[in-house]
Structure 1
């Protein structure tokens, strides 16, 4: 029955490679394992006493956990392939007794050393096909390392774009632009810029869904707490006299609806209208925090950064 652990090992390796591909290289999918890990840590971080989310650590810790799960699962998979062939198909250093170093732990040690491309050589495969398999595992380890770098380099620019849009909305809200000022060529250009930025953020959520689980401590750079002003601008501009402003308002509202669809299908599952989706998004990212701070400041109007009241996720 030595083929059972080998089959289990092959399935584990293929499962992780599939999850890695869907998470990092498939533009509109998110791997099941990585999504489960990120979502579980996000929900866990909301519990009282665990301050990962308020400290902004939920997203980074989730990515570290995903990478650790990938590496460990791949290592265990290859160890299950090596183990039935130990010690007969392996060579050992002179100070090692082969019969005493043929346990699952030893197989995992060989797998980890190979995956990390350390090449210690104290235990090495000698059978023909195993000698080909070991470099293949080292190649997977190199791919995992390269993919980690690419993942980080992709996620953090997406976060920067999201925070820049939130800060821009915060600037517009605090500038208190009048309806008359918005009803102009400049107002139309402003709305077009917001619609373009929202389209970029929507694509970012499709390509880097793990960016959803990054919590922004500063309310001014928190998109969930600033989206309400974009909705207000679209409603206000829809009543403008300038035809270009009304057209830009329609485009902005469509961009908001597309963002709501992606947020709802990927993360929130409210199956509601955009207003309800944005309310759930704000609740998940700390609208209660903003409300508490507003009360602490005596209810100042300029701290009301979230969407209007609405039901949470279904």
Structure 2
């Protein structure tokens, strides 16, 4: 949980393995478009469920060697007649859910301290889940806004004269800023990669190639400010491609090849020359 949500680089190893496995599985299914669109949300549910199962079973292992001698059972509960492992899992599940049923309680000193600690971990799990959900969707919004903006620019058919001016420099600078934000999002919220952006212009995988095209055109402009902002945009795109390649695609190719692989991995054809 710490590595997935709070670590600065957010390298949640086990969580990433679960999400990547579901992504690859969905890509192999025939109904690819419909299934891939559900991978991100379902993967988050699977990861949270995995966290909960690990915590429940981990604390059950703590209780198991001391069951039933170190615990007090409510009269006529019937719990003491169950297997010791089942009683341990039941106690762990009730504790982490903070239900407080009271039909089984630790009687030994250190176990009476350990049981509330598990309840606190249950609160942490709930808080972490809510925080994770609230963090991921603004990330998706920023990515889709950039994708739609690039699609609109591509449809506008911007001429050389319109690009080679102060407005063009401001446009390239704004695009560079948005690309940097997306690059940071992929670094800090790697799970966002496994969310499908849809089949319209909101797919960055399909439209990012046009930003690459604008950066090349801007570097050939006459105005110095346009050339400068175009170089900044090109560098931002190169950094983004490096993050995508190192974390997800592993092509060891050029930025253009990485973006092509990104589009292919999300089932989209690139937009732009």
What is the TM-score with the length of structure 2 in the denominator? Answer: 0.96
- Which blocks of at least 5 consecutive residues in structure 1 are unaligned? 1-19, 291-303, 309-314
* 8 A Cα contact 1:219 1:305, kept in partner: no
Q: Distance in 1 between matches of 2:46 and 2:211?
A: 34
Give 3-state SS (helix, strand or coil) of 2:28's partner.
coil
Q: Distance in 2 between matches of 1:109 and 1:53?
A: 38
Give 3-state SS (helix, strand or coil) of 1:220's partner.
coil
* 8 A Cα contact 1:92 1:98, kept in partner: yes
Q: CA deviation at 1:217?
A: 1.3
Partner of 2:118: 137
Q: Distance in 1 between matches of 2:203 and 2:35?
A: 12
Is residue 257 of structure 1 aligned with residue 238 of structure 2?
Answer: yes
Q: Distance in 1 between matches of 2:69 and 2:101?
A: 19
Give 3-state SS (helix, strand or coil) of 2:123's partner.
helix
Bigger mean CA deviation after superposition, 117-126 or 96-105: 96-105
Q: CA deviation at 1:285?
A: 0.4
From 190, 194, 199, the counterpart of 2:180: 199
Q: Distance in 2 between matches of 1:228 and 1:55?
A: 22
Q: CA deviation at 1:53?
A: 5.3
* 8 A Cα contact 2:179 2:236, kept in partner: yes
Give 3-state SS (helix, strand or coil) of 2:201's partner.
helix
Paired residue total:
273
User: After the TM superposition, which parts of structure 1 deviate over 4 Å for at least 4 consecutive aligned residues?
Assistant: 50-55
Partner of 2:167: 186
Q: CA deviation at 1:218?
A: 2.9
Q: Distance in 2 between matches of 1:235 and 1:77?
A: 55
Q: Distance in 1 between matches of 2:32 and 2:66?
A: 46
Q: CA deviation at 1:200?
A: 0.4
Note closer, same or farther for the CA distance 1:55–1:213 as it changes in structure 2 (3 Å cut). closer
Is residue 57 of structure 1 aligned with residue 38 of structure 2?
Answer: yes
Q: CA deviation at 1:102?
A: 4.1
Bigger mean CA deviation after superposition, 72-81 or 95-104: 95-104
Partner of 1:127: 108
Q: Distance in 2 between matches of 1:221 and 1:52?
A: 15
Q: CA deviation at 1:178?
A: 0.5
Is residue 305 of structure 1 aligned with residue 271 of structure 2?
Answer: yes
CA RMSD of aligned residues (A): 1.5
Give 3-state SS (helix, strand or coil) of 1:130's partner.
helix
Note closer, same or farther for the CA distance 1:102–1:173 as it changes in structure 2 (3 Å cut). same
Note closer, same or farther for the CA distance 1:98–1:281 as it changes in structure 2 (3 Å cut). closer
Q: CA deviation at 1:27?
A: 2.0
1:72-112, CA deviations, whole angstroms, 9 ceiling, x for partnerless residues?
A: 01100000111111100011110034641342122111101
Is residue 30 of structure 1 aligned with residue 11 of structure 2?
Answer: yes
Higher relative contact order (CA 8 A, sep 6+): 2
Is residue 41 of structure 1 aligned with residue 44 of structure 2?
Answer: no
User: Which runs of structure 2 are paired with 1:1-314 in the superposition (5 Å)?
Assistant: 20-49=1-30, 51=32, 54=35, 56-97=37-78, 99-287=80-268, 290=269, 305=271
